[in-house]
Chain A
Amino acid sequence: MKSLVQATVAIIVVCALLFFMADRLESAGSAGSKDTITVYNWGEYIDPDIIDQFTEETGIKVIYETFDSNEAMMTKVEQGGSAYDVAVPSEYMVEMMKEKDLLLPIDHSKLPNLQNIDPYFLDLAFDPGNKYSIPYFWGTVGIVYNPSLVADHLDFTSWEDLWDPSLKEKVFLVDGAREVMGMGLNSLGESLNAKDETLLRQATDKLITLSPNIKAIIGDEITPLMINNEATVALTWSGQAADMMWENEELDFAVPEEGSNLWFDNFVIPKTAANLEGAHAFINFMLDAENSAQNNDYVGYSTPNAAAMELMDPEVIEDERFYPDEELRDKLEVYENLGLRWLGKYNEYFLKFKMSIR
């Protein structure tokens, strides 16, 4: 009995000590600030120094939380229980959250730095007039490959290159119905938002002829495989490709000329927001040219911030693999919300294609 009591007291004392430590550490960064905002962002998607700078400049303390998928993020916002002031969903999720009435309109008069954003990235179909969202980063879907491991004539400027017989069992695809079906449609020269049964069937038939070349359909596991040269060719997002190329300099990335997907991650203000002033201040701060340039440098995805681009390393900006020229940009399409019925069809055909593999 004595040792049980001793153990209990010891645990409580240790907890109290730890509490004290955590409290000291937490308040150390932000002495005396009452104002706080909660930011909900993807993992490793911001330069931590930027957050400190923001607190220094405005006196607003930032509680920073991370998520790993749009769906998980929406569930937590929808359930409430936590007051998120700023969240960063992708474009299709902005649309869904809008439909579910989970977002507050953004007051543009509080965002003077909005003028820094390239107009090309504003007023898009998923959020006309940017009423609810402000673009944060963008990217494309393309092909990452290792030039030393593929035949010389392949440069993946066309989707057709994936069908090359030399790539037997060498192609990895991301496990996403929209991405893969979109690739099928694009390779036929069609829109990746097609709402047409015959087109979808044609795209599936085309994809099925690709199946001998396919090694696997997986998710984030592609990154280490490509880095370690265990995979040759993969369909993936440009941001992920940038990560791979950072680790393995041999790799190259291409967005086929027939067209592809253009994706966005955007700042939004969820309905649960408790500090609207702070949320706007944070978004405005992130839109500032210098801050944005510093953040882009850290994160490494493509930025929509034209003013920041002027401050960045020209080598990065001129890299057409990640900042495609206008000719290619015109062929890129943003995913439209297809509605439940058509989304179901995309999934159905994607499944059919997946079943055709071996």
Chain B
Amino acid sequence: MKKLSTASKIYLLLVFIVLYAPIFYLIFYSFNSGGSMNSFESFTLDHYQAVFEDSRLIVILINTVIIALLSGLIATIIGTLGAIGIVSIKDKKMRNTILSLNNVLIVSPDVVIGASFLILFTMIGVKLGFTSVLVSHVAFSIPIVVLMVLPKLLEMNTSLIDAARDLGASKRDVLTRVILPYIQPGIFAGFFLALTYSLDDFAVTFFVTGNGFSTLSIEIYSMARTGISLTVNAISGLVFFVTVLVVIGYYTVTNRRKRVSEEVQR
């Protein structure tokens, strides 16, 4: 890679400042003993303590993570198989139609999706709560997974599959030993995107929560109605910290794997 010029370095720096400034500003004040974001008085961990002492908030946080992980997982499985299905459609017109239908769901507003789910669930008598939230999160994540997996599938050389077939691989072997390993980066990307979508979704979740089940986005929104308290800052700080840890963990694991496979190849 060529070395970056000073101008582009400054530009890059500015971009990152714009991206991270609000988060750091928020985290900075989560340590403020003053009780508001007006002026920084002195360092305190009281707000973090408040988060950990509030078992209701912790349960909500855990719920949010469970929903994100599970919905991400289910959506990734369905979405990946769906993408493989779409690619294997021979009729070009048909394939484009299905792809457009997939894309319509990505751009359609969350409120509309949320309201439709609410009407659907109450009509067929599903009790609002964990299941309804999980199902709707899976639903809105699938199109994203499809979109993340698709490029990998399209870039795959079809002669790979033909070769596998010629060597006597069964359909199952082709899927598990050729296609899935090849598109694995796309699958992981899809999973992580589904994860973030689920973590941050407010509009859809708002409609389909009920019976005491709540997620962080809903809780923070109703807490913020009376002005942002520093507990919100503290919990946001915690979530950000955990996210950073997950990302670092993910990269070390993939890098190690890469190194291992490179060594094997050597």
Do residues A48 and B56 form an inter-chain contact, with CB atoms below 8 A?
yes
Interface pick from B2-10, B82-90, B119-127, B139-147: B119-127
The answer, yes or no, to whether B216 is at the interface (CB within 8 Å) is no
20 A–B contacts, CB within 8 A, in A order: A1-B176, A7-B188, A8-B73, A22-B63, A25-B62, A26-B55, A38-B212, A43-B222, A44-B229, A48-B56, A64-B212, A65-B212, A79-B119, A81-B122, A81-B132, A82-B127, A82-B210, A82-B211, A220-B227, A243-B226
Q: Is A14 an interface residue (CB 8 A)?
A: yes
Tell me the bound Cα distance from A29 to B55 in angstroms.
9
> How many residues of chain B get a CB closer than 8 Å to chain A's CBs?
51
Q: Which of A199-236 contact B (CB under 8 A)?
A: 220, 223-224, 227-228
- Shortest C-beta distance, B199 to chain A (Å), equals 14
Residue of B nearest to A29 (CB): B55
Closest to B128 in A: A81
A15 on interface, CB distance cutoff 8 Å: yes
Query: Bound state CA distance, A68 and B70, in angstroms?
Result: 28
Interface contact A43-B225, CB-CB below 8 Å: yes
Bound state CA distance, A232 and B177, in angstroms?
Answer: 69
Return the 3 tightest CB-CB contacts between A and B, nearest first: A82-B210, A43-B222, A63-B212
Does A311 sit within 8 A of B, measured CB to CB? no
Contacts of A21 in B (CB 8 A): 62
Chain B residue nearest to A229 in the complex (CB):
B38
Determine the residue in chain B with the shortest Cβ distance to A41.
B222
B65 contacts chain A at the CB level, 8 A cutoff: yes
Give complex CA distance A14, B188 in Å.
17
Q: Report how many residues on chain A are interfacial, defined by Cβ distance under 8 Å.
A: 43
Which residues of chain B are within 8 angstroms of A28 by Cβ–Cβ distance?
55
Q: Are A247 and B219 in contact (CB under 8 A)?
A: no
Which residue of chain A has the shortest Cβ distance to B176 in the bound complex? A1
Is A80 among interface residues, defined by CB-CB distance under 8 A?
yes
Contact of B38 among A26, A68, A81, A228 (CB under 8 A): A228
Question: A residues within 8 A CB of B224?
Answer: 43
Q: Say yes or no for A54: interface residue by CB 8 A criterion.
A: no
The smallest C-beta distance from B41 to any residue of chain A, in angstroms, reads 13
Report A135 CB to chain B, min CB distance, Å.
Answer: 20
- B217 within 8 A of partner (CB): no
Bound together, the chains give a CA A271 to CA B54 distance in angstroms of 31
Q: Which residues of chain B are near A29, meaning CB under 8 Å?
A: 55
Q: Does B153 contact A (CB under 8 A)?
A: no
